[in-house]
Amino acid sequence: MKIKPARFVARILPALALIPAVVFAGPAKWTVLIYGHADHSLTTAMRSDLLEMERAGSSDDFKIVVQVDINTKIAAKWFWDFKYKIDPKKFKGVKRLLIEKDTGNLSYFNSTILESESLSEDHNMDDPAVLQAFIEWGMARYPAERYGLVLWNHGNQFVGYGGDTQEGTLDHPMGMTTGQVNTAISQALAKAGRDKMDFIGFDTCLMGGAEILGDFNTLCDVFFACPELDYGDGWDYGATLGFLKANPDVEIKEFAKEEVGFWNAHHGEPMDQTHKVHAAYDMAKYDAFAQSFKSFSEQLKLYGHADGQEVPKLRAEATHYSLSDRSQIKSPTHFIDLGDFAKKIANASVNADLKQASLNLVQAIDGMILAKATGSLRTHVSALSIAYPHNTDDWVEHYEKKYDSISFTQGIGTDWRQFLALYGAMSAADQTAPVLSAGNNSRSFSTAGRTPDEPDAAFMNASLDEPAVLDFSVSGEDVFELSATLVVPDNPDDPNEYFYIGEVGRFKIEQEGSYELQ
């Protein structure tokens, strides 16, 4: 690779003889590096994003540089050349591109692969050394006053980032931890003589977590990520990079707000409308967050040791992340919204020290969030996730070992990790279940005591005009939630055998008393 740090131009001046004038090109205003890690199920999405990038395009003062790896063996590849003028065969291996401006047809790919910089498929994009080499090359080849880095792929919170299937030959690619990503970026920055990037973003799912921020707080001014799944569209590269190109001197916090706005407008799928969450985090405020989180975790651990029966209920009520579709909306996951959980702790009957620590944490998170985009059912969230296992068996088998190895649990998350160890004990301490009693309406339609030869009319009938109404009373200190399930008799010879139709209703119960579920 030959790097030419300066260019010269000989000019002919009409009033003079040939006079050589040497003009040294300074750095661009911006170079945005995009690690297009797409050799897996998202190959087609990478193609769409490359076309989006061309809507902004590079210029003398603005460079969009991509390293891209796709699965050229996908079944739909024949369609690429026909519709987009992209020959998948030219993308075999790992390619580097300088994104050029559209020439008029937004569906045609116009940028040229830098063949001299092409790499073989052996360069696994899950290798931190490959990421480091790309950043070093991009910063040396396209020097700039300001830098941004976008990490494009799958994300799974602390579990990691990436997944290079090597042209579909690997069923379980290794990915990278955020600690490995941190090392790659840090070493590349050191080689370039830079302290940090202006921004770093994950165009992935689930990377907006408390466990993640600590690996990036010293590497950038602004960090972009989604604590929830990204339901398909990712960054709006045309609008976002186009804005940055047109406003190269923009203050980074103002750019953060613009990016979140573009991201929000770009996401209109049904799950986006209700459950999307994306945020820009101010890394200058990370230390204040870290201190408040440590205090909160310490107080929570002490409370868990002394009187923690309330905590599992509050954890269950908090907003859960990693919901792939509407069928899972009511299912617990291993990730919750940290700010929402802290608010619930603050509003519960806990001691004064824990209450104050919870309020301080909520304030610190809010101060760190520069902007956030949320769906209609997520307007209350803080936009920062944290791992809090709901199923200890699954957690121990699949996650615990990795969780204990990350920098978070060795640093600001030490007390949080110790608190999580109490979760099973806190849940097990609650041995008394609430008492549920059917009301008159529900009892009259109950199958209790009924023999199989009773007429079908004796069973409950319901319609839109005359919906079923289940009435009941409930008593108990920790009443939380009730769900109703629809079943139909499945075996005339066995009155206890039913066919499961599905859940038809669920709601939270705030206190003891009588209720109706319609």
Specify the pLDDT at position 37.
Answer: 94
200 backbone dihedrals φ, ψ, rounded to 5°? -130, 135
Q: Which contacts qualify for 343-350: CB closer than 8 Å, 24 or more apart?
A: 344/314, 344/317, 344/318, 345/300, 345/311, 345/314, 348/310, 348/314, 349/310, 350/303, 350/310
Interaxial angle between packed helices 237-246 and 252-266, expressed in degrees from 0 to 180 and rounded to the nearest 10: 150
Count other Cβ atoms within 10 Å, centred on residue 188: 23
Determine the 3-state secondary structure of 354 from DSSP. Answer: helix
Residue 216's closest CA among 200, 198, 235, 202? 200
Which residues are 32's β-sheet partners?
64, 148
Structure-token pair, residue 103 = 């020439």
Looking at CATH, the fold of the domain delimited by 28-284 is given as Rossmann fold (3.40.50)
Cα 175 → chain centroid: 16
Q: What string of pLDDT tens digits covers the 518 residues of the chain?
A: 333 333 333 333 333 333 333 333 579 999 999 999 999 999 999 999 999 999 999 999 999 999 999 998 887 666 777 678 788 888 999 999 999 999 878 788 889 899 888 899 989 999 999 999 999 999 999 999 999 999 999 999 999 999 999 998 999 899 999 999 999 999 999 999 999 999 999 999 999 999 999 999 999 999 999 999 999 899 999 999 999 999 999 999 999 999 999 999 999 999 999 999 999 999 999 999 999 999 999 999 999 988 777 898 899 899 999 998 876 776 789 999 999 999 999 999 999 999 999 999 999 999 999 999 999 999 999 999 999 998 888 999 999 999 999 999 999 999 999 999 987 666 666 666 777 777 766 655 555 555 555 544 445 566 767 776 777 787 776 666 666 676 777 777 776 677 767 666 666 666 677 777 76
Interaxial angle between packed helices 286-307 and 352-368, expressed in degrees from 0 to 180 and rounded to the nearest 10: 150
Specify the pLDDT at position 20.
Answer: 38
The overall pTM is greater than 0.75: yes
Specify the pLDDT at position 15.
Answer: 34
Structure-token pair, residue 245 = 């190109």
**Residue 221 and residue 199 in contact, taking contact as beta carbons nearer than 8 Å:** yes
Ranges of CATH 3.40.50.11970 domains, the chain: 28-284
Specify the pLDDT at position 470.
Answer: 72
Widest CA span in the chain? 113
Q: Kindly tell me the burial class for residue 378, based on how many C-beta atoms sit within 10 Å of its own C-beta (0-12, 13-18, 19 or more).
A: buried
Specify the pLDDT at position 10.
Answer: 34
Cα 481 → chain centroid: 28
